[in-house]
A and B are shown apart, each in its own frame.
Chain A
Amino acid sequence: MIEKAKSTSQRLPVAKTYKIYVNGKFPRTESGRTYPLPGSREDPAANICLCSRKDFRDAVVAARAAVSGWSGSSAYLRGQILYRIAEMLEGRKDQFVSELVRTGLTKRVAAKEVAGSIDRLVYYAGWSDKVQQVFSSVNPVSSSHFNFSMLEPTGVVSVIAPEESALLGLVSAVAPVIVGGNTCVVLSSYTKPTSAISFGEVLHASDIPAGVVNLLTGQRKELLEHFASHMDVNAAVYYGEDSDEIQSLQEHAALNVKRVAIRSHSDFQKASSQGPYHILDTQEVKTTWHPVGI
């Protein structure tokens, strides 16, 4: 945010350029378009990237390239990395609180949202090696076979993040997708994009491989169709209540039979907004038959 020098002798602060986070880098949108940070009349120079379909497609390429490494890493490692993200966020708590305050939250509510985001990352870190244990099975088939079913990540997931809860909602959307070994492309809150942009910096300082999480800023009405229809995306997660959007998303998802998860949480502090079933939404079940005999 731009602060004006209060007198001629005062140091002029350096303002931040708001960029997107794609493939472990911080590019501007390829379109060259921006929109003014909503609600910041005192900050007219805050320009947010208005991402295009091409930005999304580039991000999907990065996300796809990251799938084999990330899904092939051990559950323990993924858990450690999610925990590391929590550590990084904890260290930059104050920045996130002040950014949320600028979106209109009180300091107390903002602090609660940041703390909740950190704890949510720790919560999902713990699921990394447990979701498999709770939801896999060994199946007592009648023939002489060792038969087991286990979870596997579906692949690349497009995420339409919550519009209102800029940080906790974002974390709640992304963590269950990546802890299960998927990679994702996320459309952040349009009206409150700064938390997502800064969260990209937190991700960048953690040990998460490039391309696992890609964060875009822009307009739902422009990008939703592409998030839903892209043929190299395996699943779409949507937060919101707009029935036209939901119908459009589901129709476009049918193009390549995407898995679709529609969530309409309003209070992300509630325990119901987290859980292993959120992880299952972007998992496949694979069953293996193996003979038993001599």
Chain B
Amino acid sequence: MSTSSGSKISFDTEWEYSPAPESTSHVTIEPQYELFINGEFVAPQDGTYFETINPATETAITKVAAAGDGDVDLAIRAARAAYEDSWSKISASERGKYMYRIARVIQERAREFAVVESLDGGKPIRESRDVDVPLAAAHFFYYAGWADKLEYAFPGKAPASLGVAGQIIPWNFPLLMAAWKIAPALATGNTVVLKPAETTPLTALLLAEVIRDAGVPAGVVNIVTGEGSTGAAIVDHPGIDKIAFTGSTEVGKIIQRAVAGSPKKYTLELGGKAANIVFEDAAIDQAVEGIVNGIFFNQGHVCCAGSRLFVQESVAETVIDKLKDRIEKLIVGDPLDKNTDIGAINSKPQLEKIEEYIRIGEAEGAELYQSGCAVPTQGFWCRPTLFLNTSQSHRIVQEEIFGPVLAVQTFRTVSEGIEKANNTPYGLSGGVWTDKGAKIFHMTSKIRAGVLWANTFNKFDPSSPFGGYKESGLGREGGLHGLMPYVRME
């Protein structure tokens, strides 16, 4: 389909999408979930549980144990004992073989994982099925292979494991983040205590079952559910050798302060406010798809989301018109429906935060444009949202919203684009759209961020390192470089 200038593609048809919900019949959710400590599911010491809800319906799915300080202590001791008694003693190749088993079982139970992920977190089944779960399996597969090849990753050094890793993960990619954390830790011979986010604990607990069923020695992986206090108990515990945190920059700074003066190693994967830069020589329709993918993938709950759009002035009108047209056609609704583009906002507090930013944007004088799509009455929803005519000083341009809200600005020259893109405390990712290869490499060398996408966006692979510059964090996860935070060089 081509358009002459000024005309608009009509997507209006008599046809509506019929509902195409993924069946949940093959998924069994227990009435209550315990902590996974030392290879067993055990009740929390003080008997506290919390509900996890389906954000698309606001109904409780199940109850999950809240780990207190005593439970965390137990988990860390189990991890230490497993490190000393089994995991550091078995050969590296056997360690890898356990991990291959985990990868295979995730692949086998992929559909179950995808449904539970969408139920618990609100993300569209299309994304949990096609992105989160296959990438989680691929991550275990990739790092399984490293287990007996570590000497090739660190030339001239003999890498040794650290001991017990405390890992705290967010709610936007629950299973995938668990894989990102656990896989490199195990490959390098460490044991793990992992805390999933309180709104999305279920797939990590399913993963605990997989790890147990794969025959991984007891205590090598421990999973303790709970709120921020559980995470703090892990960070503060003297039995932890390394902390891996993915979450907000605010909490990342608290952790960095908390471990000051201790020998604990740490990696922080924090917030972002990525620039997605579209030049006049870009393939415009492809760029519009990339902009949509950049900001509306996973409801915009993505630390590397392309939340700031910079369009070269000469094509700004065209790009913005096409973008408006495009977002009108995004389907917001039931995460389990295979046609859904944008699922539920993960939690009520997150929805309130996004709505607050939308109010701030309007109050600051930016021009609001929202899709007119229908949204369900129950559950937490946010229509795809654009802010036009924004300026660098706007809070919606400077601060991470973590929702489907895109701030749009324009630029004239390459150097202006670079200047604006780098005008942020964050530096996690960025995007460049142009048909000129030389310009791509010029831009990617000038943008201060850890991951740059050229004529694509939001691509992930276990072999590709991920992580931020500046206040977006430190250390890398994924790839060869993702091994480094988990080893001591001898």
Contact = CB atoms under 8 A, between A and B. Distances in A.
Interface of A: 75-76, 79-80, 83, 119, 122-123, 125-130, 133-134, 146, 276, 290-294
A122 B100 contact: yes
A130 B100 contact: no
B289 interface: no
A126 B145 contact: yes
Contact of B96 (A126, A276, A291): A126
A276 B153 CA distance: 12
Given A276-B152, A292-B442, A294-B438, A83 B100 contact: yes
A290 B441 contact: yes
Contacts of A128: 145
Given A290-B437, A291-B438, A129 B480 contact: no
Given A130-B145, A130-B480, A122 B93 contact: yes
Contacts of A146: 441
A198 B327 CA distance: 57
A206 B148 CA distance: 24
B482 to A, nearest CB: 11
5 contacts: A128-B145, A133-B479, A276-B149, A290-B437, A291-B438
Contacts of A290: 437-438, 441
B93 A134 contact: no
Contacts of B353: none
Contacts of B445: 292
A172 to B, nearest CB: 15
Interface string B330-368: 000000000000000000000000000000000000000
A123 B93 contact: yes
A289 B463 CA distance: 23
Contacts of B442: 292-294
A291 B441 CA distance: 8
Given A129-B145, A292-B441, A122 B480 contact: no
A134 B96 contact: no
A123 B148 contact: yes
Contacts of B97: 119, 122
A127 B146 CA distance: 8
A126 B148 CA distance: 9
B381 interface: no
Given A76-B141, A122-B100, 13 more contacts: A126-B146, A126-B147, A127-B149, A129-B463, A130-B145, A130-B480, A133-B463, A276-B152, A290-B441, A291-B438, A292-B442, A293-B438, A294-B438
B414 interface: yes
B142 interface: yes
A294 B138 contact: no
Interface string B450-490: 00000000000011000000000000000110000000000
Contacts of B437: 290-291
Nearest to B479: A133
Nearest to A146: B441
B102 to A, nearest CB: 13
A133 B482 CA distance: 12
B89 interface: no
A283 B152 CA distance: 18
Interface string B126-157: 00000000000010011011111100110000
B419 to A, nearest CB: 14
B439 interface: yes
Most chain B Cβ neighbours within 10 Å, of A123, A126, A128, A133: A126
A128 B463 CA distance: 11
B174 to A, nearest CB: 23
A125 B142 CA distance: 10
Q: 3 closest A-B pairs (Cβ-Cβ)?
A: A126-B145, A292-B441, A291-B438
Given A125-B145, A126-B146, A130-B152, A76 B138 contact: yes
Given A126-B149, A130-B149, A294 B141 contact: no
B480 A293 contact: no
Interface string B156-179: 000000000000000000000000
Contacts of B138: 76
B479 to A, nearest CB: 7
Contacts of A79: 141, 145
B441 A134 contact: no
Nearest to B413: A294
A207 B19 CA distance: 36
Given A76-B138, A122-B96, A134-B480, A294 B414 contact: yes
Interface string B92-105: 01001100100000
Interface in B194-236: none
A289 B41 CA distance: 55
A129 B142 contact: yes
A119 to B, nearest CB: 6
Contacts of A119: 93, 97
Most chain A Cβ neighbours within 10 Å, of B96, B152, B439, B480: B152
B439 A294 contact: yes
A123 B480 CA distance: 17
Contacts of A83: 100, 141
A291 B438 CA distance: 5
Contacts of B145: 79, 125-130
B287 to A, nearest CB: 18
Contacts of B153: 134
A126 B144 contact: yes
A122 to B, nearest CB: 6
A155 B480 CA distance: 27
A247 B375 CA distance: 76
Contacts of B148: 123, 126
A263 B36 CA distance: 49
Nearest to B418: A294
B438 A130 contact: no
A239 B13 CA distance: 67
Contacts of A127: 145, 149
Contacts of B414: 294
A129 B479 CA distance: 10
Contacts of A122: 93, 96-97, 100
A133 B97 CA distance: 21
B146 to A, nearest CB: 7
Contacts of A130: 145-146, 149, 152, 463, 480
A293 B446 CA distance: 11
A201 to B, nearest CB: 22
Interface in B77-96: 93, 96
